[in-house]
Amino acid sequence: MLLLLVSTIENITLALGILVQGMLGIFIFMAVFYLLIYALEHLFRPKEKP
């Protein structure tokens, strides 16, 4: 019984590690995408007429 509990806790720990890596990847992608949109918005801003 104790061996089963230890094995389950180890599996949950590994699964949480994979979950954290996936969530970090998603948030990093979102940040890079946001910065790309922000940069392109400033590069291709319409010219203001005087």
Q: What is the pLDDT of residues 34-46, one digit of tens each?
A: 999 999 999 998 8
User: With bands split at pLDDT 50, 70 and 90, how would you rate the model's confidence at 9?
Assistant: very high
Output the 3-class SS for 16-47.
HHHHHHHHHHHHHHHHHHHHHHHHHHHHCCCC
Residues of the domain holding 49: 1-50
Domain count of the fold of the chain: 1
Please give the model's pTM, rounded to 2 decimal places: 0.71
- Distance in angstroms (rounded) separating the CA atoms of residues 28 and 21: 10
Residue 49 has pLDDT above 80, yes or no: no
What per-residue confidence (pLDDT) applies to 21? 98
